[in-house]
Structure 1
């Protein structure tokens, strides 16, 4: 079987062909490298402030993580308010909590305000707990977030079974600020909107090198074109490669794999996620799932460290699907796809300004749709004002992971160990 990596989102996303001509040389006010949520919203922000903006992407718009993810729009970070206040201090921590609390709002408000053609449902997100320890942690999360929002609640075992249709959870945290979208549609609609506002977008234009000369950034593309820019937003995240020294070595790249079922019979689907929430479970190697168009169910999770080579790479997800929903045994899997995600060791997004006039943000930790959509404009505002209060999170220095080349071996072993522990806790 040949793997085309075609996500189920492409069935309803409207792709508009973009110019395949070489990216023109010359000078621009802002060069954006990467056409995902962060790059596109940042480019749009700059263009609407009158800047000349050029965006280059190594592939087609939507072929990276922004078009391949699960479409779960979840506010917050891996850490909850008390930890963020302690880590960043009262003043900056309060600003971070306020920002991450509103990242789902940023997505849905943008779609509504710009009238973007993006299938969506603001149906909430459930963190489903399979052990007493996980339930206690979710309860602590709820107690912290209820001080900031009346849109959070705890579900008991009866409530979560009714909401999900799976009987193997003890309870869970329900955040009604969250929801689901077609992520490829959002990416393509943002590209359309950016172009309509004057952003020059060039696909299949990989940036091979980036340097600074005479007060300008010089980007040399793989086809030999050279772009000079006053400012640069490096918005490639897990696809940053080696554009800036040491940046790639701060990240552990992982593969996130997903499956989509064939259409499910109405009588079978009726009890599965009847209100359409997104779900992430509490296992060490979590799985996440949601409904999608055409009576399909989508389920995703971490894959092998190497590139998946055949359907067997998705077998653990197919087993999880049947474990959660035995009624789906025998339902065909119509699509399998994967994307690359970037993980930081401290599980926080990192914002870097390695040199004046260049800013980047990496490491979404599973919150990329909301986090990056909301962060793009903030990063551009910082580039234009140098006001650190405009940043989504404080700047940190680039700090490569020690022995980075061996890190993936260790992570691969840890994933295998965690998966075994998860199996014992069923």
Structure 2
């Protein structure tokens, strides 16, 4: 049977949040804060500013959402991608432990916002599972468990038969359960943030790409093709979708990608055995594979790398290989959706929060943890603007050096991901 696979993102198709139309900027506005970027970071900033009664305008180049905020896996994870001791090694003890503490509490911030504003995003709070795919991977999970438990995190290493029951596969012998975490439909979450921010008084503009920023006395003028916004403060929340050379955020990350495939809705005993408690999961492979189910029972598989531009038959072959390895009892699966999002990487896998010029705030380098990090950074920016206190941010504001040879970093990562996936398709790396 021909594959029904098409290149479109699943999440907007299944979002229970009604997408709202926001106008394009076509005049001059005067506000306290202008936020550039309508993803999770920008919308969280606008929402928390609006809660404080601070007059805010947000400018988004496309629709809400159009970037990675609506295209990611939808994992509400605690912390960063790397273990807490590695974070301390990269950032120093004080800043490293600050990141561990603030981002360790980030999932609860997300779920509190969802509850407070009645965001319909299919949220689950049963945790996430980090899957040990081989002996070395299981050893790494034990190391992470020890580091996290030493910091009071509610994590448990599940092994043996209990692990097989929780994951639905005999190929995983240990899984690290983080009870702080969960899953969402990220598009619906982003749409809900926009709805809540607008309801509280923030003014949102879509199809209003910023063409430049210029100093105007002690304020900033943010320019678009058909209008402008003058503000005391500007928050640059463009992250991995920063494209313009004038935007200094671009100098502080290199671009990576993440692709996903979603099956048709699955039913029956074999399907019900996969992640029966609805945790999101990812494995310890060199180039990880993510695994989760959606509210309709679809199986979602994803991995680092760019799916756009690759033949659909190649993507299907990769998904079939991973599915047959982990869940052979499913038999043949029909894949319906595939899509790719961008990721802002940094060489040390930690984020950057900085002030490129007086009155301008920026953040980037979430390294695949955008749902929680973006939410917390937005709250932290709003608190800093209102109170002059950066304590709610994962890191203090700094002046990091630009990343050198960013295109080479991107090329090296993408080449490595593609070679690894080719090996998986050939069953060399399974």
By the TM > 0.5 criterion, same fold?
Answer: yes
The answer for the alignment partner of 1:211 in structure 2 is 214
Query: In structure 2, what is the Cα distance between the partners aligned to 1:270 and 1:255?
Result: 30
Q: Which has the higher mean CA deviation after the structures are superposed, 270-279 or 21-30?
A: 21-30
The answer for the alignment partner of 2:344 in structure 1 is 342
Q: Secondary structure at the match of 1:338?
A: strand
Query: In structure 1, what is the Cα distance between the partners aligned to 2:327 and 2:79?
Result: 28
Query: In structure 1, what is the Cα distance between the partners aligned to 2:84 and 2:257?
Result: 29
Query: In structure 2, what is the Cα distance between the partners aligned to 1:2 and 1:159?
Result: 34
Query: In structure 2, what is the Cα distance between the partners aligned to 1:86 and 1:22?
Result: 45
Q: Secondary structure at the match of 2:230?
A: strand
Shift of residue 143 of structure 1? 0.7
Query: In structure 2, what is the Cα distance between the partners aligned to 1:84 and 1:2?
Result: 39
Query: In structure 2, what is the Cα distance between the partners aligned to 1:318 and 1:421?
Result: 14
Query: In structure 1, what is the Cα distance between the partners aligned to 2:149 and 2:120?
Result: 32
Contact 2:60 2:205 survives alignment (8 Å): yes
Query: In structure 1, what is the Cα distance between the partners aligned to 2:76 and 2:134?
Result: 25
The answer for the alignment partner of 2:323 in structure 1 is 321
Residues 1:84 and 2:91 are matched in the alignment: no
Contact 2:87 2:350 survives alignment (8 Å): no
Q: Secondary structure at the match of 1:241?
A: coil
The answer for the alignment partner of 1:229 in structure 2 is 231
Contact 1:124 1:178 survives alignment (8 Å): yes
Contact 2:128 2:179 survives alignment (8 Å): yes
Contact 1:255 1:307 survives alignment (8 Å): no
Contact 1:289 1:297 survives alignment (8 Å): yes
Residues 1:291 and 2:297 are matched in the alignment: no
Query: In structure 2, what is the Cα distance between the partners aligned to 1:350 and 1:284?
Result: 24
Q: What are the residue-to-residue correspondences of 1:120-135 with 2, within 5 Å?
A: 120-135=123-138
Shift of residue 86 of structure 1? 4.6
Query: In structure 1, what is the Cα distance between the partners aligned to 2:6 and 2:218?
Result: 45
Unaligned runs of 5+ in 2: none
Indicate which of 329, 332, 343 corresponds to 1:330: 332
User: What whole-Å deviation, never above 9, does each CA across 1:337-370 have from its counterpart, x for those lacking one?
Assistant: 2211111111001111111111111111221111
Q: Secondary structure at the match of 1:149?
A: coil
Query: In structure 2, what is the Cα distance between the partners aligned to 1:7 and 1:292?
Result: 10
The answer for the alignment partner of 1:14 in structure 2 is 17
Query: In structure 2, what is the Cα distance between the partners aligned to 1:32 and 1:313?
Result: 39
User: What whole-Å deviation, never above 9, does each CA across 1:289-308 have from its counterpart, x for those lacking one?
Assistant: 1111212111111233x843
Residues 1:70 and 2:44 are matched in the alignment: no
User: What whole-Å deviation, never above 9, does each CA across 1:196-236 have from its counterpart, x for those lacking one?
Assistant: 11111011111111222312212111x23121111011111
User: What whole-Å deviation, never above 9, does each CA across 1:156-182 have from its counterpart, x for those lacking one?
Assistant: 132221111111123121111111111
The 1:311–1:113 alpha-carbon spacing in structure 2 relative to 1, beyond 3 Å, is same
Unaligned runs of 5+ in 1: none
The 1:299–1:45 alpha-carbon spacing in structure 2 relative to 1, beyond 3 Å, is same
Shift of residue 84 of structure 1? 3.4
Query: In structure 2, what is the Cα distance between the partners aligned to 1:104 and 1:276?
Result: 16
Residues 1:136 and 2:146 are matched in the alignment: no
Q: Which has the higher mean CA deviation after the structures are superposed, 87-96 or 74-83?
A: 87-96
The answer for the alignment partner of 1:51 in structure 2 is 54
TM-score normalised by the chain length of structure 2: 0.92
Contact 1:257 1:314 survives alignment (8 Å): no
The answer for the alignment partner of 1:158 in structure 2 is 161
Shift of residue 108 of structure 1? 0.9
Query: In structure 1, what is the Cα distance between the partners aligned to 2:422 and 2:119?
Result: 43
The 1:406–1:81 alpha-carbon spacing in structure 2 relative to 1, beyond 3 Å, is closer
Indicate which of 94, 103, 106 corresponds to 1:103: 106
The 1:128–1:233 alpha-carbon spacing in structure 2 relative to 1, beyond 3 Å, is same
User: What whole-Å deviation, never above 9, does each CA across 1:371-421 have from its counterpart, x for those lacking one?
Assistant: 111210102222333334342213343433323333333223322444467
Q: Secondary structure at the match of 1:298?
A: strand
Q: Secondary structure at the match of 1:62?
A: coil
CA RMSD of aligned residues (A): 2.3
Query: In structure 1, what is the Cα distance between the partners aligned to 2:312 and 2:157?
Result: 37
User: What whole-Å deviation, never above 9, does each CA across 1:281-323 have from its counterpart, x for those lacking one?
Assistant: 011111101111212111111233x843542452323422222
- Between Structure 1 and Structure 2, how many residues are aligned? 424
Query: In structure 2, what is the Cα distance between the partners aligned to 1:42 and 1:36?
Result: 10
The 1:246–1:317 alpha-carbon spacing in structure 2 relative to 1, beyond 3 Å, is farther
Shift of residue 53 of structure 1? 0.5
Contact 2:353 2:398 survives alignment (8 Å): yes
The answer for the alignment partner of 1:371 in structure 2 is 373
The answer for the alignment partner of 2:408 in structure 1 is 406
Indicate which of 171, 188, 192 corresponds to 2:191: 188
Contact 1:2 1:310 survives alignment (8 Å): no
The answer for the alignment partner of 1:281 in structure 2 is 283
The 1:309–1:217 alpha-carbon spacing in structure 2 relative to 1, beyond 3 Å, is farther
Q: Secondary structure at the match of 1:120?
A: coil
Query: In structure 1, what is the Cα distance between the partners aligned to 2:88 and 2:250?
Result: 28
Shift of residue 244 of structure 1? 4.1
Shift of residue 89 of structure 1? 4.2
Query: In structure 2, what is the Cα distance between the partners aligned to 1:331 and 1:83?
Result: 39
Query: In structure 2, what is the Cα distance between the partners aligned to 1:156 and 1:2?
Result: 35
